[in-house]
Amino acid sequence: MEKREQLYEGKAKKVFATDDPNLCIVSYKDDATAFNGLKKGTILGKGAINNRLTNHFMQQMEKAGIPTHFVEELSDRDTVVKRVTIVPLEVIIRNVAAGSFSKRYGVEEGTPLHEPSIEFSYKNDDLGDPLLAEGHIYAMALATREELKTITDYAFKVNELLKAELIADGVELIDFKLEFGKTPDGKIVLADEISPDTCRFWDAKTHEKLDKDRFRRDMGGVEDAYREMLHRILGE
Ligand code: UDP
């Protein structure tokens, strides 16, 4: 399978057409951004690590019955995925208070939540991905009730599966963001990525951060954290 014209360039990935209209190729970059693009940088080796980790997690989800866009890993950075239209929602699941949750509600980072929570943001960079009330999703026809139910069910199931796998490798899953796509026949599938860019991973014992917060907060050891996650999950 070969890359044809570039369809899209995002902050961390490029998407290319292929000769098959139902497939595209995602190419992961080392570029990193935070705070809606205000902070920019490079995390050496990130693209390859996020490609490997995402594909691993996507395959685990498939095995457990959650449909995904994953088709085939082509190389270090490139993966064939199903061509989908992305549902313009950022789906965030939280197990432990951190980041914007801690800030918004004044709950100290690291406080375990009474139960996992789900929230939705409007995927729109110009607006800074604003938080959505459920009714606003239907008012703007971003998803139907049925689609949102499917997305919610899948997202909580991903949480349980990921949490269980990660804790076996000494990693606590604090929170994460998912995106879903719609295939031409209207099926909802898990899309985008599952990586240290989009999840908060803490060492279960020391609570050391093993994710993009090291970049966002200028903590140093960013590359090492990504490599550590690759090592813990895939033994590489
Ligand atoms: N997240 C993401 N992309 C975004 C916003 C959040 O991948 O545009 C992830 C983030 O890495 C974290 C989770 O979603 O794992 C929750 O992020 P939060 O709402 O706390 O926002 P942040 O503190 O990152 O601004």
**Domains recognised in the chain with CATH numbers:** 6-82 (3.30.200.20), 85-234 (3.30.470.20)
Pocket test for ligand 1, best of 90, 92, 113, 119 (most atoms within 8 A of CB): 92
pLDDT average, residue stretch 21-43? 96
89 C-beta closer than 6 A to ligand 1: no
Handedness of CA 97, 102, 107, 108 (dihedral sign): positive
pLDDT at residue 65, as a whole number? 98
Pocket test for ligand 1, best of 93, 100, 129, 159 (most atoms within 8 A of CB): 100
pLDDT at residue 148, as a whole number? 98
User: Could you tell me the two tokens for 236?
Assistant: 């590489």
pLDDT at residue 10, as a whole number? 94
List the residue whose alpha carbon is closest to atom 21 of ligand 1. Answer: 100
198 C-beta closer than 6 A to ligand 1: yes
Within 13 A of 120's CA, how many CA atoms are on the CB side? 20
Give pLDDT tens digits for 189-231. Answer: 999 999 999 999 999 999 999 999 999 999 999 999 999 999 9
Q: Where are the alpha helices (DSSP H) in 26-133?
A: 46-63, 99-105
Four-CA torsion 74, 216, 9, 127, nearest 10 degrees: 140
List the residue whose alpha carbon is closest to atom 13 of ligand 1. Answer: 176
Give pLDDT tens digits for 97-152. Answer: 999 999 999 999 999 999 999 999 999 999 999 999 999 999 999 999 999 999 99
- Give 2 Cα–ligand 1 centroid separation in angstroms: 33
Residue 41 CA: distances (Å) to CA of 78, 115, 123, 218: 21, 35, 22, 11
pLDDT at residue 58, as a whole number? 98
Handedness of CA 94, 158, 142, 196 (dihedral sign): positive
Q: Are 41 and 215 a contacting pair, CB within 8 Å?
A: yes
200 C-beta closer than 6 A to ligand 1: yes
pLDDT average, residue stretch 146-161? 98
Give the span between the Cα atoms of 113 and 92, in whole angstroms: 14
Q: Which residues, including other chains, have CB under 8 Å from residue 146's CB and lie 6 or more apart? A: none
Four-CA torsion 160, 163, 169, 173, nearest 10 degrees: 170
pLDDT at residue 20, as a whole number? 98
What's this model's pTM, rounded to 2 decimal places? Answer: 0.97
- For the CA of 129, the closest atom of ligand 1 is 8
Nearest Cα to Cα of residue 113 among 98, 103, 100, 99: 98
Location of structure tokens 């954290």? 225
Give pLDDT tens digits for 59-83. Answer: 999 999 999 999 999 999 999 999 9
